[in-house]
């Protein structure tokens, strides 16, 4: 499908020329489906970023669209060849452990449902 072909190098608009490697038709379709239907918004954003890079859109322009850093977009592109779709998902992060008992989240939900505007 011609719409998925990357533009020639001379038409690309980034002086650093960092783009995702050319995608196969299957990869393009899979990323398009992920961008449209994945439940995680950040995974959809990253899939679209890879597709935009494949089309020759500069890192800085992709970053501006999604209001993320150029380095973030660069890391998506770096992860793609090695990790594929898995590299587009968020990974668990460290942080403070949950300090609620097993019953407390349910109590909070009930209270919010009973008194939504208080």
Single pTM value for the model: 0.67
Residue-wise pLDDT for 17-46, tens only, equals 799 999 999 999 999 999 999 999 999 999
Determine the length of the chain: 118
State the pLDDT at residue 2: 45
Print the domain residue range for 68. Answer: 2-88
Burial 21-53 (b: 16+ CB within 10 A, else e): eebeeebbeebeebbeebeeeebbbbbbbbbbb
| Those residues with Cβ within 8 angstroms of residue 66's Cβ, 6 or more apart along the chain or in another chain | 45, 49, 73
Which candidate, 83, 78, 48, places its Cα nearest to that of 63? 48
In a domain, 110, yes or no: no
In a domain, 63, yes or no: yes
In a domain, 108, yes or no: no
User: SS3 breakdown of the chain: % helix, strand, coil, rounded to 5?
Assistant: 60, 0, 40
Please count the structural domains in the chain: 1
State the pLDDT at residue 36: 96
In a domain, 100, yes or no: no
In a domain, 37, yes or no: yes
* Distance spanning both ends of the chain, measured CA to CA: 55
In a domain, 81, yes or no: yes
Residue-wise pLDDT for 80-101, tens only, equals 999 999 999 988 878 887 777 8
Q: Distance (Å, rounded) from C-alpha 98 to C-alpha 100?
A: 6
In a domain, 102, yes or no: no
- Check: CB of residue 89 under 8 Å from CB of residue 40: yes
Share of the chain above pLDDT 70, in %: 84
In a domain, 105, yes or no: no
């Amino acid at each position: 499908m011609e719409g998925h072909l990357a533009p020639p190098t001379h038409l690309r608009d980034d002086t650093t020329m960092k783009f995702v490697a050319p995608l196969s038709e299957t990869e393009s379709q899979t990323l398009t489906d992920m961008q449209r239907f994945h439940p995680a918004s950040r995974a959809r954003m990253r899939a679209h970023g890879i597709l935009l890079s494949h089309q020759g859109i500069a890192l800085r322009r992709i970053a501006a669209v999604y209001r993320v850093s150029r380095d973030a977009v660069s890391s998506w592109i770096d992860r793609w060849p090695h990790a594929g779709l898995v590299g587009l998902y968020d990974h668990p992060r460290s942080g403070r452990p949950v300090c609620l008992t097993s019953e407390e989240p349910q109590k909070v939900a009930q209270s919010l449902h009973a008194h939504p505007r208080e």
